[in-house]
Chains A and B, each alone.
Chain A
Amino acid sequence: MNELIGKAILKRYSLQITSKILLSTLLFLIAFSVSARGIYQTDKDFLAEAFDNNVPKSQVIWMKGDVSKKVADILGHRYAGLRIRYWQDEQRSAWVLEEIGKTEPINFGIVIADNKVEWVKVLAFRESRGDEIRYPAFTKQFKEAELTEDQLDRHIDSISGATLSVRAMTKVVRLALYLAKNN
């Protein structure tokens, strides 16, 4: 009998300890976590970085005729706008494009030089899963990527739980490469 009571007391005590440990771990993690979702870089800052603070005047590509059709082919749906804006100087062009991951739009910044990707950045992320794609370990896969027959010249390794975000990024990079090439 005493053994049973002893066991019960021990159980309750260990339960309390477990809960306390979990709670403090949680608070610790919340306090020291790094940024995960939101706006990582504004369009303005991205362009300033791309052109070393010497941002050229923007130009537009109108979505009409063949261009509109090709863009729809690449994205898998019609482009939700009349024009695509871009910035270009002698060496490079910069594109700010938006594409839906699973249900939310993701903002991407792409810099292209010599018809190859110079670098890609996730500017804003709003989904509840998949934000790991913003890390350099992931985006560096796109460095020097170019188009071979409208497809990327390489396979992009995905991250579990981020498949749709990866797809969105790949589509948008292809689009930027295509527009830069045919402009």
Chain B
Amino acid sequence: MIFKRTMLAASLMAAVSAAQAAAPTNEEIWQKLQQIQDQLSNVQQQNKLLKAENDGLKLQVDSNEKLAKDATEAAEAVAIATEEAVSNVSLLGDKTSIGGYGELHYNNLDDQNGSSDKDEIDFHRFVLFFGHEFNDDLRFFSELEVEHAVVEGGAGAVELEQAYLQYDLNENNTVTAGLFLVPVGILNETHEPPTFYGTERNPVEKNIIPSTWWEGGLMASGEITEGFSYDVAVTSGLKTDVGTNYKIRKGRGQVAQATAKDPAYTARLKWTGVPGLELAATIQYQQDIAQGQDSSVDSGTLFETHAVFERGGFGLRALYATWNLDGDGPKSVGADEQTGWYVEPSYKFSDNFGIFARYNEWDNQAGNSTDTEYGQIDLGINWWPHKDVVVKLDYQDQDVPKGKTELDGINVGLGYQF
């Protein structure tokens, strides 16, 4: 116990003396205070400088922000101005449009009943479309065609197939005046090469409708309700002739100084309410289908109906058309009834490649009991290297009345549209 107390006393005394040895003098304390005061002023000065710098930086940041905002606004203005300028330039040429289509055909067909073989290469059609928009409601459209390449000394023809003015009466209805395609059939209005199968247009629409069929006159078209549209037209009519057994195709006047004694009235109803399906029916009535040139001919009435179906790659076209010609003249050669129909299933393996088959039957003298019926089977492929270009290859086999030319063989076609 005594030993501990001694130790404690000894360490206490040592600590006190150590402290006494380090204790500063008043002089030293005063100097230290001066030092600290100097340091403090330094720090205060630095602080002032930093504050000033900071304020300066703040101003700069504000200024930069403003510059950035101005730059963005300028960029925006340039973008808007450029876009407007570009759209103005394109508008200048916008009103007039040019388009066209054409097809080159190669036919290698043998006449099974004789020597009227068809071994031909022919630029069958070269077509130019010209259109012009006068304003939002009034437009002009035309179709000029050169057939078979050379007219003078050749088999060709230059034809004006369409040339009409079209005016929108209101949002639902349109009036068309001039030379236009008769609203009938599948091919009559849409016959650009990439839009159908088979090198040649099908013989039913060609011989019975008769496509391509255009007349001059007035037409009203429009929409009745969702997917339901109508066309009603008053136009020049056909002029059938005894010399061709009143064959309906030969009756086309083509609005080329055509006799216009008797107008034709056409009406069509079309339903396209569901994607992939079109159903339509057309009737035409003409009071005198010989335009007063033949007293043995009276009225002519056409009834046509068709369906076009597309689902996925599968396609189906079916059409039926029949003409009824009144009068002793047509009746005597059986041309009082001219009828035809066809069915065409097809399948598209991809966007570029499709196959089809078609069965056709037609008769331009169906009114008599003699065998005057034609039949044709077509099988072929279409290849579209581009959606607007097509290469076609098809085989045809005809079935004809006794003694008539029967053409069997292959057809190759090249077509384009733009």
Contacts and interface: CB of A to CB of B under 8 A. Distances in A.
Interface of A: 11, 15, 18-19, 22, 25-26, 29-30, 32-38, 80-83, 103, 126, 128, 131-132, 135, 137-138, 141, 155-163, 167
A28 to B, nearest CB: 10
Given A11-B287, A80-B87, A132 B272 contact: yes
B79 A83 contact: yes
B170 to A, nearest CB: 8
A25 B220 CA distance: 11
A26 B268 CA distance: 12
A128 B227 contact: no
Given A81-B83, A135-B226, A35 B276 contact: no
Contacts of B82: 82
B174 interface: yes
Given A29-B222, A30-B172, 13 more contacts: A19-B265, A22-B265, A26-B220, A30-B169, A30-B170, A34-B224, A37-B172, A38-B171, A80-B87, A81-B83, A128-B168, A137-B273, A160-B278
A155 B312 contact: yes
Interface string B185-215: 0000110000100000000000000000000
B136 interface: yes
Give the 6 A-B residue pairs with the shortest CB-CB distance, closest first. Answer: A33-B172, A157-B276, A160-B278, A157-B275, A36-B223, A82-B79
Nearest to B313: A155
B261 interface: no
B224 A137 contact: no
Nearest to B266: A22
Contact of B223 (A34, A158, A162): A34
Interface in B294-327: 308, 310-313
B246 interface: no
B174 A135 contact: no
Interface in B74-108: 79, 82-83, 86-87, 90, 97
B185 to A, nearest CB: 12
Nearest to A12: B287
Interface residues of B, number: 48
Given A25-B232, A159-B275, A132 B174 contact: no
A137 B226 CA distance: 10
B226 to A, nearest CB: 5
Contact of A30 (B136, B189, B222, B273): B222
Given A29-B222, A30-B222, A155-B312, A161 B83 contact: no
Contact of A138 (B168, B173, B232, B275): B275
B83 A137 contact: no
A81 B80 CA distance: 9
8 contacts: A26-B220, A30-B173, A30-B220, A32-B224, A35-B171, A103-B97, A155-B312, A157-B275
Nearest to A162: B272
Contact of A37 (B168, B234, B312): B168
B80 to A, nearest CB: 9
B79 A36 contact: no
A161 B273 CA distance: 12
B90 A132 contact: no
A64 to B, nearest CB: 11
B127 to A, nearest CB: 16
B274 interface: yes
A81 B222 CA distance: 34
B131 interface: yes
A18 B275 contact: no
